[in-house]
Amino acid sequence: MDFSKVIKVLLSAKRIVALTGAGISAESGIPTFRGTGGLWEGYPVEKVATIEGFERDPALVWKFYDERRRNIAKARPNRAHEVLALFENLYDFWVITQNIDGLHSRAGSKNVVELHGNIWRVKCTECGIRYYNYEVPLREIPPKCKRCGGLLRPDVVWFGEPVYDVDKAYELTESCDVMLVIGTSAQVYPAAYLPRLAWSKGAKIIEINPQETPISRYANFVIREKATKALDELYRGLLRAFQEE
């Protein structure tokens, strides 16, 4: 694909927001959320990703998340994560992610909104404290709060729970000039609504996804490439364009 028109749009932008989904982390070896090879395979969703399932059997839920944490600990940020971190040096740049793996922060991104929480953070069901826990594997299942000894839960959003920082996500979406939509199937709300909101406010939508999604119909530019390849080419093209100015 000729990226010259996309680069021209990026050059004129002041604030850019990237909305990322499971596809960007799949290239780091983290299975996508659902389907063949997905992390839910073999685990009924209602047993491991709802508050009811946690209350019924917290040890089962924590065994599942301990396994996920082990998988994620082996993963490394890929070139797509790295480029998004580098964009912060060029723009007022934010990442809104549906991923819970923390790879954006590990790649160096500072401006990250984690809609679905973070698998490395825990929350006490008794005193409410939140903190990061990087034990792999966990020493105790289910883990207990370091402050009060209460039962900890993963600080992630389960089915039926409200997402985190939605007001911040809407504020960024309504004020951006360009939204990059990367590796998301655009089926989970409210994240799926954000590109249309940005588009309705006049932002240019650039979709990066090997597959067609509902966003493809109204995106200004559609790049049918994996995120690592597309973002690396965009970044290189941008640097050349900045040097020529």
**Banded model confidence at residue 40, pLDDT cuts 50, 70, 90:** low
d(CA 64, CA 48): 7
pTM of the model: 0.93
Residue 109 marked in a binding site: no
d(CA 153, CA 121): 9
Give tens-digit pLDDT for 118-176. 999 999 999 999 999 999 999 999 999 999 999 999 999 998 999 999 999 999 999 99
Rg over CA atoms, the chain: 19
Judged against a pLDDT cut of 80, whether residue 35 lies above it is answered with no
- Angle between helix axes 227-244 and 79-86 (nearest 10 degrees) is 30
d(CA 107, CA 103): 6
Closest listed residue to residue 39, CA positions, set 8, 71, 16: 71
Judged against a pLDDT cut of 80, whether residue 198 lies above it is answered with yes
The DSSP result for 8-41, as a single string, is HHHHT-SEEEEEE-HHHHHTTTPPPSSSTT-TTT
SS3 143: coil
Residue 211 marked in a binding site: yes
Percent of the chain with pLDDT over 70: 95
Residue 200 marked in a binding site: no
Report the run of H or E that residue 199 belongs to, with start and end.
helix 194-200
Give tens-digit pLDDT for 58-68. 999 999 999 99
pLDDT at 240: 94
Residue 20 marked in a binding site: no
**Banded model confidence at residue 33, pLDDT cuts 50, 70, 90:** low
Residue 189 CA neighbour count, 13 Å, CB half: 4
Residue 28 marked in a binding site: yes
Which domains does the chain possess?
A: 1-29+77-116+163-245 (3.40.50.1220), 31-74+118-156 (3.30.1600.10)
d(CA 182, CA 84): 11
Q: Which residues are catalytic?
A: 116
